[in-house]
Amino acid sequence: MNHPETPPSNEAVFVTLTSGPDGTDNIALELPGGERVMMTPAQARRLATSLITAVNRAEVKASLRVSTNMWRRMDETEARLSSVAS
């Protein structure tokens, strides 16, 4: 559900716990455009788990990119040093 045509926004998303008249609790997400999404606690937990999983994957991917670039630079430096030493 990625929308590449929509630029990322730095606007806040607000999360609140709301109680209904019958005493049931729901989680409300208020999006930057003013739209509200209501969820049960179970739905909110599944969303939170999916978000955490996606963030972890993104961080690992970014970390691997940096790590790979460091190894490439290290190999290039060793190659330059060995050619100078010869």
Q: How far apart are CA 76 and CA 82, in angstroms?
A: 10
User: What pLDDT score was predicted for residue 64?
Assistant: 84
Tell me the whole-structure pTM to 2 decimals.
Answer: 0.63
pLDDT 10s digits, 7-41: 666 889 999 999 989 999 999 999 999 999 999 99
**Rounded Cα gap, residues 50 and 76, in angstroms:** 39
- What is the average per-residue pLDDT within 60-66? 85
Q: How far apart are CA 61 and CA 40, in angstroms?
A: 32
User: With contact defined as beta carbons under 8 Å apart, do 14 and 29 qualify?
Assistant: yes
**Strands, sheet with 36-39, edge to edge from the N-terminal-most edge strand:** 14-19, 25-30, 36-39
* Higher local confidence (pLDDT), 41 or 65: 41
Computed over every residue of the chain, the mean pLDDT equals 83
Task: Give the pLDDT band (50/70/90) at residue 71.
Answer: low
The residue whose two tokens read 């209501």 is 38
**What integer pLDDT is reported at residue 13 of this predicted model?**
93
